[in-house]
């Protein structure tokens, strides 16, 4: 799936805030080896590198478009085109950080323990994932893709919500010796512009659906989705749109041996 760095940066402030909230809960003093999984354009990776400026920081992603931007903007950081599913670094990590990426992967029951196994004793696994899959922005998209008109072309893209509830992650991760900090926040995002929620999802959830369509279908699907969104997220009198967005956070700090 192609990513568009420019479009992803359209709502930078809203997308950055949860990353900073996550970062604020990582108490490591001087980690030596840091990986940012699903680093995208590397903006958040560069903040990790600034905060821990003696650490070796590596950003990992599978999108060449996003990595190109990362390389261009932050040449001193190491960037690697690698699938998170194959993450098996030569040097174990003091910090594995992942902001808004692991929800693109399924099977967290197998994935999370495997990622955590790449930490050194005392290491930290810090993750933020959107947990908005039952919100109208997503349910309307999946409902529309499941209609007779679109099912043949888009039905295969409707997948079960990849993110589990907070209790599920607690049960999975509380087995580790150390300290588990886990929470969920709904950001009451005030977005500017026409069809703001459509513009938001265009660079994330909607991308695979548009990528599977061609020609006139793209416009037609987008228009139907936009109409449904406008009903669910009506414009406020001042022209803004309120888009509540839930996110789940995990900071697991492993015990020192
Ligand atoms: C929403 S962006 C988040 C980027 C960045 N972490 C940030 O906070 O700005 C999600 C990123 O995850 C990457 N991604 C998705 N699945 C991946 C996978 N299996 N392996 C590596 N990267 C992946 C995408 O290419 C994309 O750049």
Q: Could you list the residue range(s) of the whole structural domain that residue 233 is in?
A: 5-254
How much is the pLDDT for 11? 79
Q: Which of 37, 104, 126, 203 to mutate to test the pocket of ligand 1 (most atoms within 8 A of CB)?
A: 104
Q: Residue 9's domain is classified under what CATH number?
A: 3.40.50.150
Query: For 57-81, what is the mean pLDDT?
Result: 97
Look over the chain and give the mean of its residue pLDDT values, rounded to a whole number.
95
Give the model's confidence band at 237: pLDDT under 50 very low, under 70 low, under 90 confident, else very high: very high
Q: pLDDT value at position 6?
A: 67
**Which of 103, 118, 90, 137 has its CA nearest to residue 241?**
137
Residue in this structure with the two tokens 């197998």, named with its chain if needed: 110
How far apart CA 82 and CA 61 sit, in angstroms, is: 6
CA–CA dist 248, 177 (Å, integer) = 21
What is the total count of domains within the chain?
1
Question: 3 in ligand 1 pocket by Cβ < 6 Å?
Answer: yes
| Spatial distance between the Cα atoms of 202 and 8, rounded to a whole number of angstroms | 9
**CA 164 to ligand 1 centroid distance, Å:** 19
Q: Could you tell me which of 65, 67, 73, 68 has the C-alpha nearest to residue 47? A: 73
Q: What is the pLDDT of residue 7?
A: 65
- Report CA(98)–ligand 1 centroid distance (Å): 9
Rounded average pLDDT over 177-182:
98
- What sign does the dihedral 131-95-59-25 (CA atoms) show? positive
Which helix (H) or strand (E) segment holds residue 110: the answer is: helix 108-116
The alpha carbon of 95 and the centre of ligand 1 are apart by a number of angstroms equal to 17
Percent of the chain with pLDDT over 90: 92
Ligand 1 center from residue 8 Cα (angstroms) = 11
Nearest to 27 by CA among 53, 55, 52: 52
Supply the pLDDT for residue 1.
Answer: 59
Rounded CA separation 95/55 (Å) = 10
pLDDT in tens, 89-127: 999 999 999 999 999 999 999 999 999 999 999 999 999
């Amino acid at each position: 799936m192609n990513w568009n760095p420019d479009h992803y940066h359209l709502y930078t402030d809203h997308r950055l805030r949860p990353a900073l909230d996550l970062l604020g809960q990582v108490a490591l003093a001087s980690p030596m080896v840091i990986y940012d999984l699903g680093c995208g354009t590397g903006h958040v990776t560069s903040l990790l590198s600034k905060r821990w400026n003696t650490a070796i920081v590596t950003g990992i992603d599978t999108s060449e478009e996003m990595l190109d931007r990362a390389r261009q903007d932050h040449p001193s950081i190491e960037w690697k085109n690698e699938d998170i599913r194959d993450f098996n670094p030569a040097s174990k990590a003091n910090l594995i950080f992942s902001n808004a990426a692991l929800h693109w992967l399924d099977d967290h029951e197998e994935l999370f323990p495997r990622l955590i196994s790449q930490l050194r004793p005392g290491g930290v696994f810090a993750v933020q994932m959107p947990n908005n899959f039952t919100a109208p922005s997503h349910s309307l998209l999946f409902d529309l893709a499941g209609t007779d008109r679109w099912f043949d072309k888009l039905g295969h893209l409707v997948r079960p919500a990849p993110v589990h509830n907070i209790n599920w992650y607690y049960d999975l991760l509380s087995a580790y010796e150390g300290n588990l900090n886990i929470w969920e926040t709904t950001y009451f995002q005030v977005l500017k512009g026409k069809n703001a929620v459509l513009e938001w999802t265009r660079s994330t959830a909607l991308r695979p659906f548009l990528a599977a369509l061609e020609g006139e279908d793209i416009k037609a699907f987008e228009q139907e989705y936009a109409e449904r969104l406008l009903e669910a997220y009506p414009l406020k009198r001042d022209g803004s749109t309120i888009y509540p967005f839930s996110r789940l956070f995990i900071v697991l700090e492993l015990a020192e041996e």
